[in-house]
Structure 1
Amino acid sequence: MAEHRIPRSLRETIAAQEGVLTRQQLTHAGLPGDLVRSNVRAGRWQRVLPRVYATFTGPLTRSAQVWAALLYAGAGATVSHETAAELWGLVDQPGHGVHVTIGVDRRVRSLVGVQIHYSYRLDATRHPNRRPPVTNVEETVLDLVDQAERPQDAEMWVIRACQRRRTTPERLGIALDARKKIRWRSEVQRLLVDVSTGAESPLEITYAQRAERAHGLPPGRRQRHRRFGQQSRRSDVEYEDFRTVVELDGLTGHTEEGRFRDYQRDNDTSVRGRVTLRYGWTDTTTRSCHVAWQVAEVLKANGWQGRPRPCGPFCAVGELAA
């Protein structure tokens, strides 16, 4: 069948859907039922999913795959979970399948490459303007948090969304409060407090939780910017009243150039009369009690009147402080 038989309005719809349409859309446009069959037989179209067709041959683009899954899922279908993370720029590589959420009043079978989820609150969680329809950023993050197997994985989604400026801790907190049930709620609530105060990396979060808060240290200021001449320096954690700075180095360490910048930063900090303590991934994650004790000792030497508290019965802080 020639393409000119398709009405202009339907052609516009097909273009908006990345070249994909359903048999039902053809029927609603008043076209004969054998139009699909004839185009598929002639090699002009291809069947993608049950009752869903691409009006072209060859591989589907990622956008066409997403639209095909939405059209297969039917009324109200919304891109969600890992696929929504793609659309919001929370992941750098597309997934192999498409995740779609529909209302609980309908049932659609998941297929290879199409994962169906269900929601009671879909209308409230869908972004009002985006096409294709997609859950908003906050709900996308919380969906991924809810299905995370480990708290570290849940925390990763929150940190990444805030790091990439897709949302804020405040907006995530509001969305979290609106959910009656969600996995890792308490972990995410604590994490949002840390992120809202400036912590930007998993290592900074770990320090705030395992060393600082768990042992009763005073809260430091995170990602503090200061200027030295024409240059700007940023401290990971600064205890300004006690002239102490904590710098946290990432998992893989630094190159020679990176270490040179660290030395410069430490020297600039010393010029300002501040003590710099520097910890890596292993120190912060496996020796957090010892880290807390060292930081506390420097803070006390610089005027802190408090005392660190043990985080548990086997905490090294109690023994070291005795």
Structure 2
Amino acid sequence: MVLTLPGDAADALDWLTFEQAGVVTTAQATRLLTEGVVRGLVRSGRWRPICRGVLLTGNGRLTRDQQLWVAVLAAGPGAVLAGATAATEAGVRGLRREPLHVLVPAARRAARTVLRRLPIDMAAVIVHRTSVLPDAHLQQARPTRTTTARALVDAAGWARDLDEAQSTLAAGCQQRRVTPEEIRAVVDALPRAPRRQLIRETVADIAGGAEALSEIDFVRLCRRYGLPRPELQHRRKDAAGRTRWLDAYWREWGVHVEVDGSHHMDVRHWAADMARQNDVWASGDRILRFPAWLVRARPDEVAVTLHRALTAAGWRSRR
């Protein structure tokens, strides 16, 4: 359904249809028309019932915008887009687009966790409740959604596992849609937020320079095994004067670490990385390389190797 800006002769229903992407509640429609007229539009097939209390002022398949409106209208008064859904609408890429997440006031005890009896062209909707939703956490949009910082905090708390939670926070910061300080401010306002400590630690690591999940894992490995914290995404010039970025670098001891993701299997990436590695070696620094899976699956092995390299370079453990 293509929505066009209402003309000069538009009535209240035309504007409501435009503002809500063609989705209205039965209550809204009957206030502007009559129950009989609304019933006739549905029976004739000109309007389409979507779920209890929600109508589409047309008869086509639901678009993404219409799905978002169905989600908040079906969830009831005070509902706003939240979590990964709100973050995606704010421009954060790489998050799960379904199910749709909606937040409603905790006082509404009758709110259902999952909306039922939705048509096949409607995404699943999960309804969450909160007792803390100040105006500062709301973004005026169509439909209304939580701010990007609040959306990412909620998304991390509702994520399927810890990796997804950390990746969600990293994505928002790496894509410059939000700052670590904004996320910290939201966490401070939510003393009962799920995974609150994990979110705090992850944001601290991101503020320290970690951008990818592999880098966050690496920083935590160093902290866990009593190793000094490295500089992350360290900038330096190579022999040709080009700017290079090092994943992790201990300047004092001249030790450099690269954490390789799956993209390093590509020949072109491998050749570029080899040239960078050779340049680092030629400058006199030590360089170590670990695949991201090893950092996560076998941290003991990585820690032993790092300990040996740093010790050989002059570092002395305080343990």
TM-score (structure 1 length as normaliser): 0.85
In structure 2, the CA distance between the partners of 1:191 and 1:126, relative to structure 1 (3 Å rule), is: closer
Hey, what's the Cα distance between the residues in 1 that align with 2:75 and 2:187? 27
2:80 is the counterpart of 1:69? no
Using the TM superposition, give the Cα deviation of residue 240 of structure 1 relative to its aligned residue in structure 2, in angstroms. Answer: 0.9
Hey, what's the Cα distance between the residues in 2 that align with 1:215 and 1:308? 11
Instruction: Provide the residue aligned with 1:23 in structure 2.
Output: 26
Stretches of structure 1 that go unaligned for 5 or more consecutive residues are: 310-322
**Alpha-carbon displacement from aligned partner over 1:249-288 (angstroms, at most 9, x marks no partner):** 0146421111111111111112322111111124322332
Stretches of structure 2 that go unaligned for 5 or more consecutive residues are: 1-5, 117-123
Q: Residue 13 of structure 1: which of 4, 13, 16 is its match?
A: 16
2:295 is the counterpart of 1:284? yes
Instruction: Provide the residue aligned with 1:154 in structure 2.
Output: 165
Please say if residues 125 and 139 of structure 1, whose CA atoms lie closer than 8 Å, have aligned partners that are also in contact.
no
Where do 1:208-227 residues align within 5 Å? 208-210=219-221, 212-227=222-237
Hey, what's the Cα distance between the residues in 2 that align with 1:50 and 1:288? 52
Please say if residues 84 and 152 of structure 2, whose CA atoms lie closer than 8 Å, have aligned partners that are also in contact.
no
In structure 2, the CA distance between the partners of 1:79 and 1:213, relative to structure 1 (3 Å rule), is: same
Where do 1:70-219 residues align within 5 Å? 70-92=72-94, 95-106=97-108, 107-109=110-112, 110-112=114-116, 113-124=124-135, 126-210=137-221, 212-219=222-229
In structure 2, the CA distance between the partners of 1:93 and 1:45, relative to structure 1 (3 Å rule), is: farther
Amino acid of the structure 2 residue aligned with 1:296: H
Partner SS state of residue 258, structure 1: helix
Hey, what's the Cα distance between the residues in 2 that align with 1:72 and 1:26? 14
Please say if residues 146 and 184 of structure 1, whose CA atoms lie closer than 8 Å, have aligned partners that are also in contact.
yes
2:49 is the counterpart of 1:47? yes
Identity percentage of aligned residues: 30
Where do 1:244-263 residues align within 5 Å? 244-251=255-262, 253-263=264-274
Please say if residues 153 and 199 of structure 2, whose CA atoms lie closer than 8 Å, have aligned partners that are also in contact.
no
Amino acid of the structure 1 residue aligned with 2:223: R
Hey, what's the Cα distance between the residues in 2 that align with 1:138 and 1:111? 26
Hey, what's the Cα distance between the residues in 2 that align with 1:144 and 1:308? 39
Amino acid of the structure 2 residue aligned with 1:220: P
Using the TM superposition, give the Cα deviation of residue 104 of structure 1 relative to its aligned residue in structure 2, in angstroms. Answer: 2.0
2:308 is the counterpart of 1:274? no
TM-score (structure 2 length as normaliser): 0.86
Please say if residues 139 and 146 of structure 2, whose CA atoms lie closer than 8 Å, have aligned partners that are also in contact.
no
Amino acid of the structure 2 residue aligned with 1:20: V
Using the TM superposition, give the Cα deviation of residue 294 of structure 1 relative to its aligned residue in structure 2, in angstroms. Answer: 2.4
Partner SS state of residue 242, structure 1: coil
**Alpha-carbon displacement from aligned partner over 1:132-182 (angstroms, at most 9, x marks no partner):** 111111222222222234322322221222222221222212211221213
Amino acid of the structure 2 residue aligned with 1:33: E
Hey, what's the Cα distance between the residues in 2 that align with 1:8 and 1:292? 69
Partner SS state of residue 237, structure 2: strand
Amino acid of the structure 1 residue aligned with 2:231: R
Cα RMSD, aligned residues only: 2.5
In structure 2, the CA distance between the partners of 1:25 and 1:282, relative to structure 1 (3 Å rule), is: closer
